[in-house]
Structure 1
């Protein structure tokens, strides 16, 4: 057996990048990056709609997180822009992208939770997608460990 064959090992000891676990982690990261970019684009559109037309969303009476709709619009727009930046970082496999992606998706979940009275079905849909993003990024981290 040559030295080169000894370094590679048996077929069950494939390098991480060529293993099933590595392929799954790669898919989870790609999924999370793409979904974060898509939901961030939705957040930007949602935010710009609220900034551009305060009458677009219904009035909510006596709600704990009641802000002016323009403020909600700016919150969603800024989170959306940040999410696109982080999503691209995830797709480029930058080290900071994974942890920052979990944080941005978590902030998006909180912002959409507070936005539920204004647009409940949409906010809950985005919360569910953000939960999938957090799951995919955490799964990628667990598979790489």
Structure 2
């Protein structure tokens, strides 16, 4: 009788894990696309951003534009891998989200509200990708890994 109760619980855990992975993939894709747009804005029109004088991390806005553009492009590519529920994509997703957090923290004085929003989105991505246990994560079609 206990065996019949564990099967629905396992299915619910697998669905929850799959949902969190998809959530992380979608949020990483959104963060990547927004970072691409931010990078294009910084490369094309520097006057969109506020320039601050006495900030510890003073860099050229065009340089920051290239950093955000590259991070955004990599984030979109990694998010496509997350839709396949692969382990490499989860590790790369956490890594790229952490790099997005660092880049937005360092460029905080140039676009403060947007940087805080991007830090929050990337924090949700890291949470969604780290909370899923490996044995509970299903593939895209809902079947558990390692079995048919």
TM range, normalised to the smaller chain?
A: 0.7 to 0.9
Name the TM-score, length of structure 1 as normaliser.
0.87
Conservation of the 8 A alpha-carbon contact between 1:28 and 1:137: yes
Secondary structure, counterpart of 1:65 in structure 2? coil
Name the TM-score, length of structure 2 as normaliser.
0.85
| Shift, 1:142, TM fit | 6.6
Matched, 1:22 2:14: yes
Q: Which of 111, 116, 137 is 2:129 aligned to?
A: 137
Conservation of the 8 A alpha-carbon contact between 1:21 and 1:143: no
Q: Which runs of 4+ in 1 moved over 6 A?
A: none
Paired residues, number: 136
| Shift, 1:143, TM fit | 7.1
In structure 2, C-alpha distance between the alignment counterparts of 1:143 and 1:122, rounded to whole Å: 36
Q: How does 1:48-59 map to 2 (within 5 A)?
A: 48-59=40-51
| Shift, 1:13, TM fit | 3.2
- What do residues 60-83 of structure 1 show as CA deviations (whole Å, max 9, x unaligned)? 102111110000000000000000
Conservation of the 8 A alpha-carbon contact between 1:25 and 1:143: no
Secondary structure, counterpart of 2:43 in structure 1? helix
Matched, 1:128 2:128: no
Q: Which of 69, 72, 79 is 1:77 aligned to?
A: 69
Structure whose CA Rg is larger: 1
RMSD over aligned Cα atoms: 1.9
